[in-house]
Amino acid sequence: MASVRAAKYEDRERLLEMCLEFAVEYGFVPSPDRILSVIDSLAAGEDSALLVTNTLDGVIGLVAKVHPFGEDVMAQEIVWWVDPAARKNGTGTKLLRAAEDWARDRGAKTMLMVAPNDAVGLYYNSIGYKPFETFWKRSL
């Protein structure tokens, strides 16, 4: 099984590929320049992380910030994507657990994840996550 590590600059091309696939899969209009900016920002920030599998078939990017209305640190996923060929073998869970460890090490009391569909929501529920807020979207 793949191990998880911090992303390196040399990973940028593969990270861009994965993030572009993520964008297309979930209905975003991809912007390679913007994605590279986010990759660089997550990898370099003191309150952010960009973690990858050593086989470069999965990525999770997150930030940890003090909640604007309180003092608790909350971590939030920015991107979490696993290559379809590497799904259902524990790769995504390994990335998520590494992200939780990173967040805990920075004092986070809560981890927020986005469920783009019901299957992901059911997965989160199966590992102890509970629904928190529901996002609604409309094209303008």
What pLDDT is stored for residue 30 in this prediction? 84
Reply yes or no on whether the pLDDT at 2 is more than 80: no
Higher-confidence residue: 40 or 135? 40
Q: List the 108-112 sheet strands across, edge first.
A: 4-6, 48-53, 58-66, 73-82, 108-112
Complete domains list, the chain, with CATH: 4-126 (3.40.630.30)
| Each residue's pLDDT tens digit, 65-93 | 877 777 888 999 998 989 888 888 889 99
Give the pLDDT confidence score for residue 95 in this predicted structure. Answer: 92
Residue 28 has pLDDT above 90, yes or no: no
Q: Write down the mean pLDDT value for the chain.
A: 89
- What pLDDT sits at residue 139? 83
Q: What is the pLDDT of residue 1?
A: 63
Do the beta carbons of residue 129 and residue 113 sit within 8 Å?
yes
The tokens of 7 are what? Answer: 């992303």
Read off the pTM. 0.88
CB 56 within 8 A of CB 3: no
Neighbouring residues of 114: CB distance < 8 A, sequence distance ≥ 6:
77, 80, 135
pLDDT at 58: 83
Q: pLDDT tens for residues 31-63? A: 999 999 999 999 998 899 999 998 888 888 888
C-alpha torsion sign, points 31, 78, 56, 51: positive
Cβ neighbors of 59 (< 8 A, separation 6 or more) are: 7, 15, 18, 19, 50, 51, 52, 53, 79, 80, 81, 82, 95
